[in-house]
Amino acid sequence: MKNLSRILVASLMAAVLLVGCGKPKTLEAYFDEHDDEWQEITETYGDMCDIEVEENTMTYTFDIGGSYEGEEKDALAEQLESTMDSMSSTFESSKELIEKETDVDVEMVIVYVDGDGNEIYSATF
């Protein structure tokens, strides 16, 4: 009976270890293990924006150029918000595709900056 208990405990410990090793814990770890997929993303979108991954957050930063302040910046932010509202389903679909492929819950952040690097507008999906 003691041997059976030891075998059962050892089996459970092995199962726990195997389950724990199954998937990356973060999106960043996933891309560390799948550099080819990261390269494909950066080659596809790298000309349009900067892409960064930290933990489970994937940030796309678009530089729209110019320099904006005051009312001009506010008007541009409103326009970007309206555009993002109409494109939200595209970003949601991209997020869901990444989550399905990586088996990691992802936060996708879209940031628009001016030519000086000042944030004009951002949205999180």
pLDDT digits (tens, 9 = 90+) for 94-125: 999 999 999 999 999 999 999 999 999 999 99
CA separation for the pair 49, 56 (Å, rounded): 19
Residue 121 β-bridge partners: 112
H or E segment to which residue 60 belongs: strand 57-63
Read off the pTM. 0.76
Residue 61 φ/ψ, nearest 5 degrees: -115, 120
Summarize the confidence of residues 87-97 as an average pLDDT: 93
Q: What is the pLDDT of residues 35-65, one digit of tens each?
A: 999 999 999 988 899 999 999 999 999 999 9
User: In angstroms, how far is the first alpha carbon of the chain from the final one?
Assistant: 54
Phi-psi region of 73 (alpha: psi -120 to 50; beta: other; left: phi over 0): alpha
